[in-house]
């Protein structure tokens, strides 16, 4: 029998490596931008078409490559950054395994043009699926220009595996932002389908953070700094009152490399303990600098976790540094201690007054009976008429008060309804006491209302008279666009007034007096939180989010409580909120007896 073992052809070996290194268009962007930085570029342009599916182009003004280097750069384990194993521990460059280009070239069509300062002519190389197609001189400017076309063209299973353009582009943004946040002395531009998404000039860190995440962030940044022999801590943390629900604005970097670090994360969160509004997570941009040999160098190219020699010490120092910074801010909040403010940023500190949310109930409306849905038949003008009959008090006069008892006399008769603390409805029924969490009840009611509208594609738009301009960050703008089809079904409409800035033109007719910018912000945050949760579909996310916005700061009196309870019993699942929290609590007589034993 002949020998069986064969060496894999390079192209196959590279494709296998690509499976690890290049998972999606964003990985290509990361690798190529990092190469540009390693090549000492001061300007990097990223040009994306169709979320990277069609083309990813990275242009830099760095060192460029000689003809031989350009050709060699596509070989596996070809790198100019690592000579022997000792180098591994003293590395300051981003990439070092020499795998990225070989991998990329094995799963795409690559066009490279590159020229060094000293060369008169540059070199052009075209490769498709690891096969060299062209290698010839070309006239081009100093630096390197990579274009990656039709990623995974020869690996259909991977191409099919890619998510929607919106999702893939957000992955690209994430990589781009991480790199931009650590290389403030480099100017970056990002285009998507010829539209400029980012134009980040060289700047100080604070300015860079603000350029990436929006000028609203500026007012909430507190600088931190602590230098010791073991570690240098720098960066910014968010003021507690600016904390958000999402984790999107939380960045750790070590030696200018993005990392995740659950242990240090705890040090930060502990420092914020007891000063954060409930259910919020603060923003932070924390930069650690340590001796390269004191960390377990990130051998795996896609891994973002790193081990530190002095983990305990860094934990403590981080904790103390943040606590001090927060203390400083708490004692004298009006004075800005930040040293790094040698630039002017107009800050939008418009105090949005949060109007108490009020749900516009049409008493004859029932989500289960489309013929009685008069709310949706209201004309445009009706919405701007002061409609007195909408007041809670009027809802329960005469014929309205009759309805609940008629309909539900078997379920309950809340004649002696008591409202406790503005949020609990209590009534007794034969031998039990029923306590209803009214906010939760309203949450359930409105959730089903919006869910029903989404399922039945029932548009019930209400125009908005005074529109707020809502400036969004690039990624949040993309999320709103992703949700647009669903939102428009229930009556939302937006207008783009300028790049990443929208005006809400209409909202669902069922909501009234709601802080719309806040509602949009919550929608986006909830989408980010639940997006990865396959159990929850987008309709659920939207219905929950809007329903939640309608109950914020809600206070109940007897009449609104009665109405809410009546509506609650018409819902499909009156006992629990969409998040699984209890709404109704029954206490048997003997349970109450037991309280007094």
How far is the C-alpha of 147 from the C-alpha of 101, rounded, in Å?
A: 12
**Chosen from Mg ion, ligand ADP, none, partner binding at 73 (C-beta under 5 to 8 Å by type):** ligand ADP
The window from 95-103, 175-183, 485-493, 537-545 that contacts ligand ADP (CB under 6 A) reads 95-103
How far is the C-alpha of 124 from the C-alpha of 114, rounded, in Å?
A: 7
Residue pair 236/221 in contact by the 8 Å Cβ criterion: yes
100 is a site residue for Mg ion (CB under 5 A): yes
**Chosen from Mg ion, ligand ADP, none, partner binding at 76 (C-beta under 5 to 8 Å by type):** none
**Chosen from Mg ion, ligand ADP, none, partner binding at 52 (C-beta under 5 to 8 Å by type):** none
The window from 57-65, 254-262, 305-313, 496-504 that contacts ligand ADP (CB under 6 A) reads 57-65
Q: Select from 76, 50, 71 the least CA-distant residue to 152.
A: 50
Q: Which helix (H) or strand (E) holds 503?
A: strand 501-508
Residue pair 524/542 in contact by the 8 Å Cβ criterion: no
The nearer residue to ligand ADP, 36 or 173, going by C-beta atoms, is 36
In residues, how long is the chain?
597
**Chosen from Mg ion, ligand ADP, none, partner binding at 583 (C-beta under 5 to 8 Å by type):** none
How far is the C-alpha of 512 from the C-alpha of 359, rounded, in Å?
A: 6
Query: Shortest gap between Cβ of 528 and Mg ion (angstroms)?
Result: 30
Query: Shortest gap between Cβ of 45 and ligand ADP (angstroms)?
Result: 12
240 is a site residue for Mg ion (CB under 5 A): no
Helices (H), ranges, 409-501? 438-455, 474-489
Query: Shortest gap between Cβ of 383 and Mg ion (angstroms)?
Result: 57
Contacts of residue 445, defined as CB under 8 A and 6 or more positions apart, other chains included, come to 547, 564, 567, 568, 570, 571
Largest distance between two CA atoms of the chain? 98
Q: Three-state SS across 131-192?
A: EEEEEEEECCCCEEEEEEECCCCCCHHHHHHCCCHHHHHHHHHHHHHHHHHHCCCCEEEEEE
The nearer residue to ligand ADP, 81 or 552, going by C-beta atoms, is 81
CA 538 from centre of chain: 15
Among 15, 27, 55, 63, binds ligand ADP (CB under 6 A): 63
The nearer residue to ligand ADP, 179 or 286, going by C-beta atoms, is 179
Query: Shortest gap between Cβ of 252 and ligand ADP (angstroms)?
Result: 23
What phi, psi does 558 have (nearest 5°)? Answer: -60, -40
Residue pair 193/201 in contact by the 8 Å Cβ criterion: no
Residue pair 200/212 in contact by the 8 Å Cβ criterion: yes
Among 19, 54, 81, 394, binds ligand ADP (CB under 6 A): 81
472 is a site residue for Mg ion (CB under 5 A): no
122 is a site residue for Mg ion (CB under 5 A): no
How far is the C-alpha of 592 from the C-alpha of 597, rounded, in Å?
A: 9
37 is a site residue for ligand ADP (CB under 6 A): no
Residue pair 414/404 in contact by the 8 Å Cβ criterion: yes
Among 62, 95, 122, 425, binds Mg ion (CB under 5 A): 95
35 is a site residue for ligand ADP (CB under 6 A): yes
The window from 55-63, 164-172, 504-512, 587-595 that contacts ligand ADP (CB under 6 A) reads 55-63
Among 14, 27, 35, 540, binds Mg ion (CB under 5 A): 35
476 is a site residue for ligand ADP (CB under 6 A): no
395 is a site residue for ligand ADP (CB under 6 A): no
- Residues 112-171 contacting ligand ADP, CB under 6 A: 144
The residue written with tokens 């395994």 in the block is: 97
Query: Shortest gap between Cβ of 180 and Mg ion (angstroms)?
Result: 17
The window from 4-12, 99-107, 549-557, 571-579 that contacts Mg ion (CB under 5 A) reads 99-107
Radius of gyration of the chain (CA): 29
Q: Which residue number places its CB atom closest to ligand ADP?
A: 95
39 is a site residue for ligand ADP (CB under 6 A): yes
The nearer residue to ligand ADP, 299 or 595, going by C-beta atoms, is 299
Backbone CA torsion sign across 84, 90, 92, 95: positive
Residue pair 355/513 in contact by the 8 Å Cβ criterion: yes
Query: Shortest gap between Cβ of 131 and ligand ADP (angstroms)?
Result: 17
44 is a site residue for ligand ADP (CB under 6 A): no
**CB contact burial 456-491 (16+ within 10 A = b; e otherwise):** eebbbbbeeeebbebbbbbbbbbbbebbeebbebbb
209 is a site residue for ligand ADP (CB under 6 A): no
Per-residue binding string, ligand ADP, 303-342, x by CB under 6 A, is: ----------------------------------------
Reduced to 3 states (helix: H, G, I; strand: E, B; else coil), residue 276 is coil
The nearer residue to ligand ADP, 36 or 490, going by C-beta atoms, is 36
73 is a site residue for ligand ADP (CB under 6 A): yes
98 is a site residue for ligand ADP (CB under 6 A): yes
78 is a site residue for ligand ADP (CB under 6 A): yes
The residue written with tokens 């595996």 in the block is: 161
**Chosen from ligand ADP, Mg ion, none, partner binding at 414 (C-beta under 5 to 8 Å by type):** none
By CB under 6 A, name the binding residues for ligand ADP.
Answer: 31, 35-36, 39, 60, 62-65, 73, 78-81, 95-101, 144
């Amino acid at each position: 029998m002949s020998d069986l073992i064969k060496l894999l052809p390079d192209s196959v070996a590279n494709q296998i490596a690509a499976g690890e290194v290049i998972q999606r268009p964003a990985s290509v962007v990361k690798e190529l931008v990092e190469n540009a930085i390693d090549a000492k570029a001061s300007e990097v342009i990223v040009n994306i078409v169709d979320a990277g599916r069609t083309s990813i182009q990275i242009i830099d003004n760095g060192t460029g490559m000689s003809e031989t280097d350009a050709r060699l750069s596509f070989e596996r384990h070809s790198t100019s950054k690592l000579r022997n194993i000792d180098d591994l521990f003293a590395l300051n460059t981003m990439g070092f395994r020499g795998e990225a280009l070989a991998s990329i070239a094995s799963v795409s069509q690559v066009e490279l043009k590159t020229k060094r300062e000293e060369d008169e002519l540059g070199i052009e190389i075209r490769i498709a699926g690891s096969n060299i197609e062209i290698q010839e001189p070309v006239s081009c400017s100093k630096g390197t220009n990579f274009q990656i076309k039709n990623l995974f063209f020869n690996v259909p299973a991977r191409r099919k595996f890619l998510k929607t353009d919106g999702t893939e582009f957000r992955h690209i943004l994430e990589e781009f932002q991480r790199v931009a946040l650590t290389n403030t002395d480099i100017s970056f531009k990002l285009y998507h389908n010829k539209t400029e998404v980012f134009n980040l000039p060289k700047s100080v860190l604070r300015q860079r953070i603000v350029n990436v995440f929006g000028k609203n962030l500026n007012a909430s940044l507190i600088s931190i700094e602590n230098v010791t022999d073991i570690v240098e801590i720098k960066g910014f943390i968010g003021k507690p009152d600016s904390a958000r629900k999402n984790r999107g604005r939380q960045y750790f970097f070590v030696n200018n490399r993005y990392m995740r670090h659950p242990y240090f994360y705890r040090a930060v969160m502990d420092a914020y303990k007891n000063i954060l509004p409930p259910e919020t997570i603060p923003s932070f941009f924390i930069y650690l600098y340590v001796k390269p040999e004191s960390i377990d160098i990130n051998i795996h190219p896609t891994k973002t976790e790193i081990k530190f020699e002095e983990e305990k010490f860094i934990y403590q120092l981080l904790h103390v540094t943040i606590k001090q910074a927060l203390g400083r801010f708490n004692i004298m909040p009006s004075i800005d201690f930040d040293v790094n403010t040698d630039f002017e940023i107009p800050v939008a500190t418009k105090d949005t007054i949060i109007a108490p949310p009020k749900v516009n109930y049409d008493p004859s409306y029932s989500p289960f009976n489309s013929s009685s849905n008069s709310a949706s038949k209201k004309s445009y003008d009706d919405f701007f008429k002061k409609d007195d009959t909408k007041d809670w008090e009027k809802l329960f006069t005469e014929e309205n008060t009759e309805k609940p008892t008629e309909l539900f006399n078997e379920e309950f008769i809340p004649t002696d309804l008591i409202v406790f603390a503005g949020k609990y409805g209590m009534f007794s029924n034969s031998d039990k006491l029923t306590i209803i969490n009214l906010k939760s009840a309203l949450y359930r009611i409105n959730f089903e209302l919006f869910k029903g509208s989404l399922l039945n594609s029932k548009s019930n738009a209400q125009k908005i008279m005074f529109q707020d301009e809502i400036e969004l960050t690039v990624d949040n703008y993309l999320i709103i666009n992703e949700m647009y089809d669903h939102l428009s079904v229930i009556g939302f409409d937006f207008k783009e007034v300028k790049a990443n800035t929208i005006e809400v033109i209409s909202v669902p007719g069922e909501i009234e007096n709601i802080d719309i910018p806040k509602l949009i912000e919550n929608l986006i945050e909830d989408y980010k939180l639940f997006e990865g949760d396959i159990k929850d579909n987008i309709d659920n996310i939207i219905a929950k989010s809007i329903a939640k916005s309608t109950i914020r700061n809600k206070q109940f009196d007897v009449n609104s409580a009665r109405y809410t309870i009546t509506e609650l019993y018409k819902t499909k699942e009156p006992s629990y909120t969409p998040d699984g929290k209890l709404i109704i609590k029954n206490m048997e007589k003997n349970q109450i007896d037991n309280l007094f034993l």
